Amino acid sequence: MIEGNDRSATTAFVAGVIVGVVAGVLLTPRAGSDLRASLKDYATSAIDDLVGTALETGKTYVEELVQRGKHYIETTVEEVLEPARNLGSMR
């Protein structure tokens, strides 16, 4: 369903989120409650970004699917009507 470029971008985004969280945990000298609040904010932001990316990818996929469907219908209708037009011109 998801094309290679979209899947690669999503995978890179998720990997970046994971690396960022790990780096934040390991490199930030903070009190536990401050660290938890910071991680919660970061995770919320990352989830929002991920959902936005997923929605945009899904929207793009649906738009492409609709365009392919329109093309298929137009082609099929033309293939069906062409013999009928030829019959009409033979009379």
Using the structure block, give the residue that is written with the tokens 């904010």: 41
Residue type at 11 in one-letter notation: T
User: Would you place residue 3 in the very low, low, confident or very high pLDDT band (cuts 50, 70, 90)?
Assistant: low
Residues 60, 69: Cα–Cα separation, whole Å: 14
Residue 66 confidence class, pLDDT cut points 50, 70, 90:
very high
Which tokens hold the place of 73? 């219908």
Contacts of 20 (CB under 8 A, 6+ apart): 42, 46
pLDDT tens-digit readout, 51-65? 888 888 888 888 999
pLDDT digit string, tens, across residues 4-45: 667 788 888 888 888 887 787 777 676 778 877 877 888 888
